[in-house]
Structure 1
Amino acid sequence: MSGNRWLIILVVAIIAGACSPKTQPAVKTTAKSAEKEAGKNDTKATAEKPAKEKLKAKKVSDRISTISLLLPLGLDHLNPGAKYTPAGLKKAGLALDYYRGFKLALDSLTEQGANYRLQVYDSKDEPAQSHSLALNPQIKASDLIVGPVFPDGMKVFTSAPNVSKNLILSPLSPASPLTYNNPNIITVIPPLEYHAWKAAEFVSKNVKTQKVFVLASGYSDEKAYIGFFKKAIDSLTKKRVKVVQLTVVRGNLNAIVPQLTKFDRNFFVIPSTKQAFLKITLYSLDTLSRRFPVTLFGHPNWEKYSYLKAEQLQRLNTHITSADKVNYKSAATITFVRNYRKMYGAEPSEYAVKAFDEGLYFGQLLADGRDNLHELNENGFTGLHNSFSFKKKPGQGWVNTHVNVLKYTNFELRQVE
């Protein structure tokens, strides 16, 4: 099908959404009320218990919760004579996947007795449209606003005069909530700061040499990660562990060799995402590892880079942090994929997975009572792509701080924390 044709189908799907079939939820929630119920059972049995049974134990309100999705559909490109650019079509595909995943979650909850009014608006990924949506009375009155998806649109939306005082979910962006300066923001994808903190936490618990070596490329985009990492190490170790930073030129690591030990692990952190730098630096570090024990921490984006060699990363005992690792072998994920295929006749993307988790979590909180949205720290969640552990930050709203640690083992990334 052409891009325009499937977007026409999307419009029809949105209009007919209220009549779509319901599916069973496939994710384990750990909200406070569910935890009390689960505590009566064996831990293993609780972990495998279907979410349907847990949701039945919850008191579901009869009231209708209104949720507004602000997605970059770009439907004006369907007008006669108009067409999508490749970039616009990609954004529209993202919007379609997110809508499908979120709707699937709400359908699952609706089967348990919850009631929702799902309003979908086209943000077009344009500043003027984001500003206009911020002034829309129906959106402002929503119990939960999801989007705009991209940081520029969110910044315009949240800075509009008399913007909604209800909570606004940033669904897919890891941008720092400081970007928006709005106390009603919910940042569900952990920002880089929390990846650096988790790396520092892991290093501080395992390092014995009292030194950590940061190998930098010199590019400015690494400064934020390095700054967060140093601050976390100082805080966690009370400055007992020293961060030694080296700007590496053409893979030359000779300057730090005298500081290495052959008797304990030497911890290295490489915050770079530059392909040329990584190839030569990892080669040099691999060579060095033949003489000195090495453990390496890389940038969370490394998971996406196919040019990195798994065998080399394993020799370097490489770890990375991650906030969106999906275990496609788990029973919950298998159930979700099966239900998604049945309803939409398509494979779920990462955006659909994240949307399902977010729809299930926030949809359940709304069903249990509107006040739950203001107590996110009391309601944990284990989803398909990540867990939610929210903290309230002054001036930043709610931020999910949960980040996993993965290690390259047997030519794949496996969770170790």
Structure 2
Amino acid sequence: MNYLVSITKLFTGLALLALISSCSSTRKSSGKVDGPPPSLSKPVAAPKTEEKKVAAKAPFNVPAFGKEVKKATYNIAFFTPLYLDSVFATTTDIPGRNMPKYVLPGLEFYEGAQLALDSLQQQGYQLKVTVYDSKAKQSITSLIRSKALDGTDLIIGAISNPELKELSDFAKEKEINLVSGTFPNDAGINDNPFLYIANSTLKAHCEALQHYVQNAFSNKNIVLFHRNTPFEIKLAGDFKASYDKLESNKKSRIREVVWNDATTPEEISKYLLTDRTNAVIITALDEAGAKTLLRKLSVSSTTYPLQIFGMPTWDLFKLKEPEFKDLQIYYSSPYFNDKTDAYSKYINDYFRRIYKVRPSDMAYKGFDLTYYFVKLLHNNGVYFNSKVDDAQKVITSYDFQPVYLKEDTSTPSYFENKNIYIIQKGDSADIKMNK
């Protein structure tokens, strides 16, 4: 079946959302979706609504985290960019082949989350889930003003700025945990301990790459290549700061190189050594810039042993050019899915059976994050924050750690996923190198 026609089937359910409301829809379990294997998720009974007093010492110095608030039914607000007002601006008919591609990531994130919610509700979870189009004409500000989000127990979303900042301010005021699922940025937020950033910031990636290259090779020459732009200078600063913070007797100093399009392979080779591994770190996020430097490095690859480390955006790069064939290239990612686990197989089978297409990574992420945090909510109550480390892995592994951006404070600025995978680019499949 044609891909666009198949996606149109995926969009059918959302047409009903457009008819009901341009901004939200309350979902209940359909009772028609088979859940993952029972051996992975045993049915559970819904707890009675209860609230216990604040603990003597609240975790992370946040009073709300010391409370135990469990409910018979949990209210969840789910945000994703569906662009319903644009797609159905003049009609409620399915757009078919003319459906814009920009709706697909948010749509599949929603569809993955829907599968997770259906599976959990079939296990006995009592949930009231309201889905909001984060790109609707009705702004988040107006939703907050209308008190539509009051009474929410958890917010999950594929959201970026300015929506993330608006929701964060609201979540902090109302003491509601907010999960930012896909945006690799803190949006300037530095004072919300109720915020969880699943798609790690670039600073976290710099720390992870620094730790990996310093410990993976006993004898190495670390060279950091960046261009003379404010953004890449900042990234280079993050690398150097992570070097200063790293406590290791094996660490080697970083050689910093500022390059541009006119930089020659001969100039680059001056920073490389023949008798040890050259761990080359490249701060370019754009494919054109990264490939420009890789071509220059490829000239030296037969003389100098190279291990090249790029940014998280490199997971989407197609490095099929002949000059890249013999280069060992790696990138960092907060998410890895080899699609061999039971949940991934379930999602894949469902999409192939119902829509005749393969699910994208956004579908897997929507399922994974929703299942992970809703289960935390159900098992531990509204303030599950001190139990995040005990949560069971669903598809990928998370390591949410408190981040302190302000000096002399014991309250986190937010929580961030610090589990960063180092992945090698492969011809047919990428290979996880750590953990």
- The reply on whether 1:74 has 2:79 as its aligned counterpart is no
Output the amino acid matched with 2:431: R
Q: Paired residue for 2:42? A: 56
Map of 1:2-401 to 2, 5 A cutoff?
Answer: 9-12=13-16, 17-25=28-36, 50=37, 52-56=38-42, 60-61=46-47, 63-77=72-86, 78-80=88-90, 89-124=100-135, 129-147=139-157, 149-159=159-169, 163-176=173-186, 178-179=188-189, 181-209=191-219, 211-236=221-246, 240-249=251-260, 250-255=262-267, 257-306=269-318, 308-309=319-320, 312-313=323-324, 315-342=326-353, 346-371=357-382, 373-384=384-395, 386-394=396-404, 395-401=412-418
Assess if the C-alpha contact under 8 Å between 1:68 and 1:119 holds in 2.
Answer: yes
* Cα distance, 1:263 vs structure 2: 1.9
The CA distance in 1 between the partners of 2:379 and 2:342, in whole Å, is 26
Q: Per the alignment, in what secondary structure is the counterpart of residue 375 of structure 1?
A: helix
- Superposed CA deviations along residues 42-93 of structure 1, whole A, max 9, x for unmatched, are xxxxxxxx5x324328665361111111233333332447999x99944543
Does the aligned pair in 1 maintain the 2:44–2:123 contact within 8 Å? no
List alignment gaps of at least 5 residues for structure 2.
18-24, 49-71, 405-411
Shift of 1:253: 4.3
Indicate the SS of the match to 1:69. strand
CA 335–159 in structure 1, closer or farther in 2 if over 3 Å, else same: closer
Aligned mates of 1:264, 1:3 — CA distance in 2: 50
In structure 2, the CA distance between the partners of 1:371 and 1:3, relative to structure 1 (3 Å rule), is closer
Measured in 2, the distance between the counterparts of 1:373 and 1:350 equals 27
TM (normalized to structure 1)? 0.81
- The question of whether the paired residues in 2 share the 8 Å contact of 1:102 and 1:359 is answered with yes
Q: Deviations over 1:116-148 (max 9, x none)?
A: 11112233256x701112334341211101236
Amino acid at match of 2:106: A
Structure 2 CA distance for aligned equivalents of residues 171 and 222 of structure 1: 25
Identity rate, percent: 21
Cα distance 1:242–1:119, how it changes in 2: closer, same or farther (>3 A)?
same
**Distance across 2 between alignment mates of 1:251 and 1:183:** 45
**Distance in 1, Cα, partners of 2:245 & 2:172:** 39
**Aligned partner of 2:291: which letter?**
K
Report SS of the residue matched to 1:285.
helix
Q: Distance in 2 between matches of 1:228 and 1:338?
A: 42
Q: Deviations over 1:147-203 (max 9, x none)?
A: 361221111333359843211111211112644642221111111122111111111
The CA distance in 2 between the partners of 1:289 and 1:148, in whole Å, is 40
Question: AA paired with 2:309?
Answer: F
Give the aligned partner of residue 39 of structure 1. Answer: none
Structure with more of its chain in helix, by fraction: 1
**Distance in 1 of aligned mates of 2:15 and 2:428:** 42
Listed as ranges, the gaps of 5+ residues in structure 1 are 26-49
- TM-score, normalised to structure 2, is 0.78
Aligned length: 388
Q: Which amino acid aligns with 1:403?
A: I
Secondary structure (helix, strand or coil) at the match of 1:19 reads: coil
Q: Distance in 1 between matches of 2:379 and 2:341?
A: 27
Q: For the residues of structure 2 that align with 1:88 and 1:373, how far apart are their CA atoms?
A: 40
3-state SS of paired residue (2:332): strand
Shift of the alpha carbon at 1:292? 1.6
